[in-house]
Amino acid sequence: MAKGHRSQIKKERNENNRDLRPKAHAKFVRLADTKARIVLEQIKGKGVAEAAAILNYSPRYAAYIIGKVLNSAVANAENNLGMDKKSLFVEEVIANRGSAYYGRFRLSPRAKGRAYRTEIKMSHITVILNEKKK
Over the stretch 67-79, which tens digit does the pLDDT of each residue have? 999 999 999 999 9
Q: How many domains does the chain have?
A: 1
Q: What is the CATH number of the domain that holds 54?
A: 3.90.470.10
CA dist list (Å): 15 to 63, 76, 80, 111: 34, 19, 16, 57
Judge whether 9 lies within some domain.
no
Indicate whether 1 pLDDT > 70: no
Q: Could you read off the pLDDT of 108-123 as tens digits, one per residue?
A: 899 999 988 888 899 9
Judge whether 14 lies within some domain.
no
DSSP β-ladder status, 23-29 and 123-131: antiparallel
Q: What is the pLDDT of residue 18?
A: 81
Judge whether 29 lies within some domain.
yes
Q: Could you read off the pLDDT of 60-108 as tens digits, one per residue?
A: 999 999 999 999 999 999 999 999 999 999 999 999 999 988 877 788 8
Mean pLDDT of all residues belonging to the chain: 91
Judge whether 95 lies within some domain.
yes
Q: How far is CA 96 from the centre of its chain?
A: 8
pTM: 0.83
Q: What is the pLDDT of residue 21?
A: 92
**Domain range for residue 68?**
21-131
Judge whether 16 lies within some domain.
no
Judge whether 11 lies within some domain.
no
Q: What is the pLDDT of residue 2?
A: 57
Are the CB atoms for 108 and 116 separated by under 8 Å?
yes
